[in-house]
Chain A
Amino acid sequence: MILRSLAVSAAFCCLLAGPALAGDPARDAILADYAAQAKQADPSFQGFSAQRGKVIYETRHADAKPETNACAACHGEDPTKPGQNAKTGKTIDPVAVSANPKRFTAKDDVEKWFGRNCKEVLGHDCSALDKGDYITYLSTR
């Protein structure tokens, strides 16, 4: 009986928290950090959105180099599949958390790749809100 109620409450808890918070503690810490920054930048911040993250992931940028004009250009239309570096042909491990649970769990790497790729693809640095949305989206995939 106790076990059963524990299981039910655990399931309920996960449903409430959503997939973004259902994963790795390190990823949760990174997201919490971006959330704090987003709140600081905009006090009306209400939480990250997988929907906005999907838009960031899929949008093609006409002013970027054609082979790297979207996240999806290298990481693939389907983020659960391996991607391919559009310039070198090197295979990239899937960027979706379901296919690659180690994604977004090392703060330095996450910052390094956002730092390089946002400039390359979007033409500007990403805000904490962008980064949080992006990670939230890929945590649902």
Chain B
Amino acid sequence: MQISVWDLPTRLFHWLLVSAVAVCAFTALLLPTPWLKWHFLAGYGLLGLLLFRLVWALLGPEHSRWQGFAPRPAAIAAHLKAILNGRPHRSLGHNPAGGAMVAALLTALSLLALTGLVALGGMFKQGPLAFALTFQGASALKELHEVLAYLLLAMAGLHLAGVLVESRLLKEALILTMITGRKELEPGERAPRPAHPKAAPAAMTVLVLVFGVGFALSRLPPAGWHALTVPESYAKECGACHMAYHPSLLPAEGWSKVMAKLEDHYGEDASLSAAKTAEISAFLTGNAQERWDTLAANRLHGYDAAAERPITGNVWWKRKHRHIAATIFHQRNVISKSNCAACHGDAAQGLFAPQEIHIPKDPS
């Protein structure tokens, strides 16, 4: 007799999770930076899936519950030994090793989602944690995020290998079971208990609550960034020839040096009256890099007097743009590396979020 082992929500969860992980891995490891917007979206999706799964581990059908993947070392050892002998014991739900694997996968995924939120908040000043986090703390956790990501990929490989080995040894189509949800009930086995009748509303409530609170928190002003009123003199005088660079892009020392030689401003005469020079200098040095905790302020750190250009000559700037073809910088709608705003929609705000990168098509 065929019975349902994995209910529809559990199966949907499984395959949506696979898709979300695939999008996350693909966008982060193989695609250029602008694709990170899909990484962030898939990350939020993953977070929602994990919240659902948490509820389902408490209220879902029998084999979706946490008891099925609580690690039992003795049982795991016995099961692995049986596999080596080619005669593993069949389980209607998770076998002991598979259950432990699922527990490890869910733990790693939860940590990935959390460290991802931390990185997004502290480094890109976005999302529910942006109000509370510093760049430095968040970037340390981003390292952990990366280590966990590779670990997860290895674990996912092991999970798949385990499924294939067991399918073969037990002559059971385990992947198909995760699609249809059905298995043959063998003699001596008992049909599993279905989900708690309130499981679905409970999952919905948890999702709405958590995402609602998260959305509210994401409306708070981020730590280390604020909207800046640019004085008219800066917008008009400096902004006449190039974008009015956000003052966070150079430290006060750098702005002082730039403003001290306007008559030879990278090959151009940009001299201004003493009064205007003083006004603009005061704005730039008073709002310089030291006052911000953004990605650009942290990474473009310092002023290299020897660099050919203070911002685009920066080592980090060069590394971040190393895959941008020289022809793009010379397109008629870009012209120069100094034209940040040609590609970065939020350059004027000093944020440089991955979602705001749009490299324009060559018009010629």
Known contacts A85-B242, A88-B242, A90-B243; A119 and B336 CB within 8 A of each other:
no
Picked from B271, B273, B336, the residue with its CB within 8 Å of the CB of A89 is: B336
Tell me, rounded to whole Å, the shortest Cβ–Cβ distance linking A80 to chain B. Answer: 19
- List residues of chain B with CB within 8 A of the CB of A87: 241, 267-268, 335-336, 338
CB-CB nearest in chain A for B271: A116
Question: Please, what's the 1-or-0 string for B212-252, where 1 marks a CB less than 8 Å from any CB in chain A?
Answer: 00000000000000000000000000011111000000000
Contact yes or no, B241 A120, CB < 8 A: no
Chain A residue with the shortest CB-CB distance to B342? A89
Closest to B330 in A: A89
* A75 shortest CB reach to chain B, Å: 13
Distance between B355 CB and nearest chain A CB, rounded to angstroms: 22
Q: Which residues of B contact A88 (CB under 8 A)?
A: 241-243, 335-336, 338-339
The docked-state distance in angstroms from the alpha carbon of A84 to that of B243 is 12
The reply to whether B339 and A120 contact each other, CB–CB distance below 8 Å, is no
CB distance from A112 to the nearest CB of B (A): 8
Interface size class for chain A? 10 to 19
Complex-state Cα separation, A94 to B84, whole angstroms = 79
Contact with B along A109-134 (1 / 0, CB 8 A): 00010011001100000000000000
Q: Mark A63-98, 1 if CB is under 8 A from B, else 0.
A: 000000000000000000000111111101000000
A138 to chain B, nearest CB (A): 17
Chain B residues within 8 Å of A112, by CB = 272
Q: A90-B241, A90-B242 are in contact. Are A85 and B335 (CB under 8 A)?
A: yes
CB neighbours of B260 from chain A (8 A): none
Instruction: Say yes or no: is B298 at the interface (Cβ < 8 Å to chain A).
Output: no
Whether B333 lies near A89 (C-beta < 8 A) is yes
Residues of B within 8 A of A84 (CB): 332, 335
Once bound together, how far apart are the Cα atoms of A89 and B331, in whole Å? 9
In the bound assembly, the distance between CA atoms of A92 and B242 in angstroms comes to 10
Annotate B300-334 by CB proximity to A: 1 below 8 A, 0 otherwise.
00000000000000000000000000000000111
Given contacts A89-B334, A90-B241, contact A120 B268 (CB under 8 A): yes
Does B176 lie at the interface of the complex (its beta carbon under 8 Å from any beta carbon of A)?
no
User: What's the least CB distance linking B272 to chain A, in Å?
Assistant: 8
Cβ–Cβ contact A85 & B333, under 8 A: no
Closest to B333 in A: A89
Residues from chain A with Cβ under 8 Å of B342 in the complex: 89
Does residue B270 face the partner (Cβ distance < 8 Å to A)?
A: yes
A37 to chain B, nearest CB (A): 21
In the complex, 20 of the A-B residue pairs with CB atoms within 8 angstroms, ordered by the A residue number, are A84-B332, A84-B335, A85-B242, A87-B267, A87-B268, A87-B336, A88-B241, A88-B242, A88-B243, A88-B338, A89-B333, A89-B334, A89-B338, A90-B241, A90-B242, A90-B243, A115-B269, A116-B271, A119-B269, A120-B269
A residues apposed to B, CB below 8 Å? 84-90, 92, 108, 112, 115-116, 119-120
A-B residue pairs, 10 tightest by C-beta: A89-B335, A89-B339, A88-B242, A116-B269, A88-B336, A88-B338, A89-B336, A90-B242, A85-B241, A89-B334
